[in-house]
Structure 1
Amino acid sequence: MMENLGKLLLRISVAGLMLPHGIHKLMHGIGGVKYMLGQSGMPQFLAYGVYLGEIVAPLLMILGLYTRVSGLLIAFTMFVATAAAHAHEIFSFTKYGGLVVELNALYLFAALAVALIGPGKFRLGNQRGFWKE
């Protein structure tokens, strides 16, 4: 029971904190994302993937539907975001000693952890298939 509560807490934490970023982009447009991608030499059409990685995937993860795929989508989104916005400072430190990209890394690795451990028992539905629990 405690293990399943931990999985639920991790899912809600990662997805619940990611979702407002996607909502903000939905309300204010993704021009900033397109600009960052263009500056880093990445194709601008990847900006629309932000909606998958910051809105669709977090909603599914919170519900416990396609949780492993959602975790991979969020992790990929964070990888691209880090590469686009912080490639030059991946190993840089803040004045307080933390990595500049530590929040990005936390989202990325927590989303990967969710993808690896699965949704737990507290989820909507009982789907099987992609990586059985």
Structure 2
Amino acid sequence: MNRLFNTNYNHRGLDFVLLILRISIAGLMLSHGIPKLEMLLAGGEIKFMDPIGLGDTATLALAVFAEVICSVLILLGLAVRLAVLPLMITMLIAIFVAHGDEGLSEKELAIHYLLTYIVLLFAGGGRLSIDSLISQKSAKSRRGY
């Protein structure tokens, strides 16, 4: 019963939760990004929302970059804090532009993604990530090991 109300962090547990969070959110976002990648590579006429005036193809390419490339980086735990930034921008566009005049139920999924990306922005990838391995190696090289 005392564990239930314990406010100390279990760092191993937190690292495991960050791993699960990274894998799951990246996999879920890839399910949105892969169809966009296929649309981009199909070679036909592209009809895609263009909220910032770059053109349909350029906007679709940016969405593919965020939803596919950045999701793979998050999945691997590589440059997690940088990789969430394009995804956060994409979710903000989804919330305020793509679903701007719709109700909360239409924006809810993008809001969930955005909140998860905010957590990853502050928490990083955790110890079970490539970022952590790189950090450990650079710390050893600074100490001269």
Provide TM-score, normalisation by structure 2: 0.72
- Offset, 1:21: 1.2
The ranges of structure 1 where at least 4 consecutive aligned residues each deviate by more than 2 angstroms after the TM superposition are: 28-32, 40-47, 81-84, 124-128
**Contact (CA 8 Å) 2:27, 2:75: kept in 1 or not?**
yes
* Unmatched 5+ stretches in structure 2: 1-11, 136-145
- Offset, 1:123: 1.1
* Unmatched 5+ stretches in structure 1: 94-98, 129-133
Root mean square deviation of aligned Cα = 1.9
- Offset, 1:81: 2.6
Sequence identity (%): 30
Amino acid at match of 1:8: L
**Contact (CA 8 Å) 1:63, 1:123: kept in 2 or not?**
yes
Amino acid at match of 2:35: H
- Offset, 1:59: 0.3
Provide TM-score, normalisation by structure 1: 0.77
Name the SS of the counterpart of 2:31 in structure 1: helix
Residue 18 of structure 2: aligned partner: 7
- Offset, 1:42: 3.8
Residue 111 of structure 1: aligned partner: 117
State the aligned residue count.
117
Distance 1:7 1:79, change over 3 A: same
Q: Take 1:13 and 1:19, find their aligned partners in 2: how far apart are those partners?
A: 10
Amino acid at match of 1:123: S
- Offset, 1:72: 1.5
Amino acid at match of 1:4: D
Name the SS of the counterpart of 1:88 in structure 2: coil
Residue 83 of structure 1: aligned partner: 96
